[in-house]
Amino acid sequence: KNVYKSILLNREANRKMLAVLLDPDKCRGSVLAGTIAALKSNTPDLVFVGGSHTVTSVDSLIELLKEEVNTKIVLFPGNASQFSTKANALLYLSLLSGRNAEFLIGQHITSSVAIKKTGIEVIPTGYLLIDGGKPSSVEYISNTRTIPRDKNEIALSTAVAAELLGMRLVYLEAGSGADTPVAPEMIHCVSAGLSLPLIVGGGIKTTEQLTAAYDAGADIVVVGNAFESNPNLIEEFVKCTRNYEAGSELSAT
């Protein structure tokens, strides 16, 4: 269980992790070439592959990434069809903020036996969709409602339910391209009451927002959109993550 183990080891050492999200529908042609070049010179801890509305097969992108970039590839699927044995691990997502049985358990039943046979590392993940200021693709596709962005206690209760159900990660998601990322207050509330590693993503476009998420208690931050328009930003985000020291801002004042 190498990917999850590395997440736990980094968390114990208080090292934050950056995950770059690549959607095979968007990551092609010159965008793909620029992204691969950027990832080779500034390699993040993890690369997530997938999307809520992805139709392109994830296989060829993962094959290329494995040839070119020395990092772990993690499937971040929008549904059971986005699977590849070539990835290092699978986030086995259950959309706990919603009440659509299809995304809570239905897609899992469709794919569980086949996934188990492959022997891929499976990381059960409680996935919480938070209002990011505009309707997201995942909200539309899953036909579920978001948790209001100021309802920290609802997010905490949902995250702790994931923990008690035996899940291994919790993901606070504002939606790809969100106007407003998950608020630091919510990240702090959830991380303070949760014993699992916490992933945060959606709408993070600056290193200030990245640092704010780390400061609030995110163990892993996921960034996609910001790099699609400018792969050169990956360097800045990777360096910010490597140089991050918890409390450094507090101790400097």
Binding to ligand 1GP by residue 201, rule CB under 6 A?
Answer: yes
- Three-state SS letters, 182-202: CCHHHHHHHHHHCCCCEEEEC
Q: Residues near 215 by Cβ (< 8 Å), separated by ≥ 6?
A: 184, 246, 249
Radius of gyration of the chain (CA): 17
Return the SS3 of 245. Answer: coil
In the complex with ligand 1GP, which residue's Cβ is closer, 89 or 166? Answer: 89
* Residue indicated by tokens 């998420």: 213
> At its nearest, how many Å lie between ligand 1GP and the CB of residue 113?
27
173 contributes a contact to ligand 1GP by CB under 6 A: yes
> Does 133 contact ligand 1GP by CB under 6 A?
no
Q: Nearest residue by C-beta to ligand 1GP? A: 201
Tokens for 202, please give them. 């959606």
For residues 204 and 210, the answer to whether their CB atoms sit within 8 Å is yes
- Kindly indicate which of the ranges 88-96, 113-121, 184-192, 218-226 contains the residues binding ligand 1GP, using the contact rule CB under 6 A: 218-226
Stretch near ligand 1GP under the rule CB under 6 A, chosen from 61-69, 79-87, 105-113, 175-183: 175-183
From the list 77, 98, 203, 231, which residue makes contact with ligand 1GP (rule: CB under 6 A)? 203
Return the closest-CA partner of residue 20 out of 243, 241, 236, 234: 234
Which member of 204, 212, 218, 238 binds ligand 1GP (CB under 6 A)?
Answer: 204
Strand, coil or helix: 198: strand
Q: Interface residues with ligand 1GP (CB under 6 A)?
A: 21, 173, 176-178, 201-204, 222-226
